Amino acid sequence: MKKISLFLVAATLLFGAGRLPAETVLTVALDGSARFTSVQAAIMAVPQGTRENPVIIRIAPGTYPELLYIQREKRFFKLVGQSPTNTILTYHLYAGITNAEGKPIGTFKTPSTTIDADDFTAENLTFENAAGPVGQALAIRVDGDRASFRNCRFLGWQDTILLNRGRQYFENCDIRGHVDFIFGAATAWFEHCRIRCLGSGYVTAASTPVDQPFGFVFSHCQITGAKPDVKTSLGRPWRIYASTIYLNCEMSAVVRPEAWLDWGKPEAHTTARYAEFNSTGAGAQPARRPDWTRQLTPAEAEKITIQKVLGGADGWNPGPSSPFGANRLEIEYGAAGGQKLLLDAHVPAGAGPFPVVLIVHGGGWMSGDKEADIVPVFAPVATNYTWFTINYRLAPTNRWPACFDDVQTAIRWVKQHAAEYKGDPDRLALLGYSAGGHLVTLAGTRATPDTQVQAVVAFAPPTDLISDNERRGGLSVSMRGLFGFDTTNLTDAVRTVLGGNSPITYLKPGLPPFLIVQGTADKTVPFNQSLAFQQKMQSLVGQCDLIQIPGGQHRIADWTKFDPAWQGELMTWLNARLAAK
């Protein structure tokens, strides 16, 4: 099919798939391969975003030594890195540095990053103040409301994070410091975060206003020390109405038995709101806690939810039910070749069970990442899907069939574990792009009983490796790296290997339905290759549909320019094939 009917597209958009807004996406890379080499320059390039059209700044791996400031007017900005371990935003100011007048600049002029705007989001980044053990030195200051941080690191020493006002949400983050390294007057929820105490000190110093019901809430977090002799307190009151709660947190022996200090303010014994529920580990000693702090009952703890704490007058709920992006990260789905195989998962709001999609990234079998290429175009329109996106072993370090084996391992894992993520394992589709498209089409055509799926979707997939290399005039670099050939010649032996690993070779009746999405001007994988695959499958009484992107080339991020409706068509097709029975 060239186009699915307008009626079906409209119905999909109306009844659940959603419409992908025309997002403003900017890219930053230190090596000059992107429009910007500076994160701040990218921030300044766009005045503001909107809820429907947020500004997304994708930051390539690297260490960016910049002072960053997102001013009040720049709402709906989202900074996205590849991984917090390789995408680092850093600077090194500290309170004792003197200004032009010879006076110390003070704590509040030290943040490496300052977020003054509302509706800010960050993912897969490190925010760092690299000044070291020299006193107050903020990695980040947040004054904006409704700010979310997922899979980020916050590295500092004293006063790492200042949450000055507003509401903030942290999920799956690493936070490191020594003294008062989470402090301020804001309301913030920390979900599944890891708190690392680098020296003896205090985790929090809240200054919660008297009329604010909540300050800092830590849920299912882990507190550890960098060394055996490090000791910390859970909190001390910067202001006497400080509010800090720990729910279901694991506390190592780094936490002092008394856990809470009054900072020499005895009046805080009647005003501070310090509480715990179900703390575990060597640092959980409720009998040793001060009598002016509380151990919550199960009924009291049950009432403290993300919605209750962060909802406010506007009903904000940024928790794991957030509709965009993966919200379960770095899950091990297997191990091979001495390395862990990892995936990320998106679990939607609602009871489920939801249809499931397993995503396999592109990158010529030799590069790529599970959060790249497909996720940015698929996640915003797949809000009612459980989806998983995998990393797999790459060539030339790992020769064929390592990557294909990993895809099959992932399929088995998803079928076994989908229900744990609200997914229906009997409504499973594969989705791959380019090299990932080759892998999913091969998996779909060569399925065994334990790897069978209900649908296969491929974006620009190489499905005939022989014809693809014939048109190139010899064996490509990626094919040599993947299969370990030391020749560019298409010998009989080479052709046997290429044909034996081409999805078109294995077409037969009884396969699940396939959908190919392809740009008609693709020079990397010729459009005619997808046409040939479709025609052969249809001749065998199989279902293979084709969405053409008129004028589209290989880069899927650009396809919306040529056909704004293609995501809707994709979701219409998936919704039909994975409908509940």
Q: DSSP of 44-103, one letter per residue?
A: HTSS---SSS-EEEEE-SEEEE--EEE-TT--SEEEEES-TTTEEEEE---TT-B-TTS-
Gap between the terminal Cα atoms of the chain: 25
Q: Is 3 exposed, middle or buried (0-12, 13-18, 19+ CB in 10 A)?
A: middle
Which residue has tokens 């010879």?
Answer: 102
Q: DSSP of 448-511, one letter per residue?
A: -GGG--SEEEEES----HHHHHHHHTS--HHHHHHH--S--S--HHHHHHHHHT-GGGG--TTP
Residues labelled catalytic: 159, 180
Which residue has tokens 């989806």?
Answer: 387
Please, which residues bridge with residue 104 across strands?
A: 98
User: How far is CA 370 from each of CA 219, 367, 387, 456, rounded to the nearest angstrom?
Assistant: 27, 10, 12, 18
Provide the token pair at 423.
């997914």
Q: DSSP of 181-226, one letter per residue?
A: EEEESSEEEEES-EEEEEEEEEEEEE---TT-S--EEEES-EEEES
Q: How crowded is the C-beta side of 472, counted as CA atoms within 13 Å?
A: 19
Strand order in the sheet with 24-28: 24-28, 55-59, 77-81, 121-123, 147-150, 167-171, 187-191, 216-219, 243-247, 273-277, 294-295
**Euclidean distance between CA atoms 89 and 100, whole angstroms:** 26
> How many other C-beta atoms are found inside a 10 Å radius of the C-beta of residue 539?
9
Which residue has tokens 């925010």?
Answer: 127
Element (H, E) at 537: helix 527-539
Task: Calculate Rg over the CA atoms of the chain.
Answer: 26
**Encoded amino acid at 571, one letter:** M
Q: Which DSSP category does 577 fall into? A: H
Q: Which residue from 356, 566, 556, 572 is spatially nearest to 461, judged by alpha carbons?
A: 556
Three-class SS of residue 404? helix
Element (H, E) at 443: helix 435-445
